[in-house]
Amino acid sequence: MKKILPDLIHRKEGRRMKVIDGGVTAPKGFLAASTAAGIKYKDRSDMAMIYSTVPCKAAGTFTTNVVKAAPVLYDKKIVTESKSVQAVVVNAGIANACTGAEGFGYCEDTAKKTAAELNIAEDAVLVASTGVIGMQLPIQKLESGIEVMAKELSDTREAAHQAACAIMTTDTISKEVAVTFEAGGKTVTVGGMCKGSGMIHPNMCTMLGFVMTDAAISKELLQEALSADVCDTYNMISVDGDTSTNDTVLLLANGMAENPKITEKNEDYRKFCEALNYVNTEIAKMMAGDGEGATALFEVKVIGAKSKEEAKILSKSVVCSSLTKAAIYGHDANWGRILCALGYSGVEFDPEKVDLVFESDAGSIQIIKNGIAVDYSEEEATRILSEPAVTAIANMNQGNAEATAWGCDLTYDYVKINADYRS
């Protein structure tokens, strides 16, 4: 099955930042490691560790699912109450969700072991898990993995990449992005990694995302920047409409760039938010394009809406439509499904004003003008929709607001993957 590659997922770089080849070790002072602990998978890495050589300010966003995994409950407490954080430990294969007091205790055990190995405080450790719900973690294997990773921490590009690979489940590609920008005469770096391929319909964040920065910034503004940004990034993607029990995005800032500390919403803060948005947007799009069984990234851009909120609702309604997703898989310009999805979104609009265009690297073609199909070539539309990244642009002609959502096509393989996910 053809999968979309990271280099196909791009947008224009902001003029005030530079995109670099990097991940979580790109910012100063951050190290990473990974190992094969045998938690569920065989013959592959399944644990990752991120460590800062100095204490960090920490921010986080978490699933709004009423059923929250033990690591979510644990991390929410640490992010809120701990003065600083220095390490994150992640495992793949078992989600540690719906595991009761025993599962929460394993979070505490993981933090305790990590703290002992790294000589840091227990409340300076965050944990994250992804995989099968309802299984208890083999804590002895986790602790053995922590011992190995603590000795192998490195700031190399390869260490970051291997960490990104270790946290994958049904993902087919690792997901990493890094950028730099100037603040107060200092170079500031933001680097991130994430995993996510199925059970992707975030509400406040994504499956698992980890963003590191060497920016000097207050904890309050760090949290505000992250909370605001997830609304336009992770919350605008969907693979299958299922919000996970484990959704977590963690943002750590260690201040080692030595820029003047950002304590107010000045120009440096705006630059930081711009860089954070780029990293979050790109890894979110990578998740959407790597949806389980997917062959195409499906982008839906709504323009000419009355408000940004309405544009968001409209774009997500289309990107979540199973019928539309199936049409994208079949390279079929079935515009009626898109118009239908706009219509049941809950947003009031005049259907006789809607224009629709399909775009890809193969070209652009208008399908609807004023709510009615134009005389277009089905062959040309199919050619455009056969690319690994396609965009539907719906102009509501109702106002000046716009929003973009990202998803993927719906294939036979999605059902195959999820029919026996636990095996």
Catalytic residues: 206
Taking alpha carbons only, the member of 332, 388, 338, 331 closest to residue 360 is 388
Measured CA angle at 26 (ends 24, 31), to 5 deg: 60
Task: Please state, in angstroms and rounded to a whole number, the distance separating the CA atoms of residues 130 and 421.
Answer: 13
Taking alpha carbons only, the member of 207, 195, 206, 141 closest to residue 169 is 195
Task: Please state, in angstroms and rounded to a whole number, the distance separating the CA atoms of residues 200 and 220.
Answer: 28
Q: Name the percent of the chain in helix, strand, coil, to the closest 5.
A: 35, 30, 40
Q: What does the DSSP 8-state code read for residue 237?
A: B
Task: Please state, in angstroms and rounded to a whole number, the distance separating the CA atoms of residues 408 and 258.
Answer: 40
The tokens describing 147, both together, are 């011992």
The tokens describing 172, both together, are 């087919």
Task: Please state, in angstroms and rounded to a whole number, the distance separating the CA atoms of residues 175 and 62.
Answer: 19
Taking alpha carbons only, the member of 145, 142, 78 closest to residue 110 is 142
User: Tokens 């994958």 label which residue?
Assistant: 168
Q: Which residues contact 78 (CB under 8 A, 6 or more apart)?
A: 58, 85, 123, 125, 126
Phi, psi (deg, nearest 5) at residue 26: -65, -45
List helix spans (H) across 122-232: 139-152, 157-166, 219-229
Taking alpha carbons only, the member of 394, 405, 242, 408 closest to residue 327 is 408
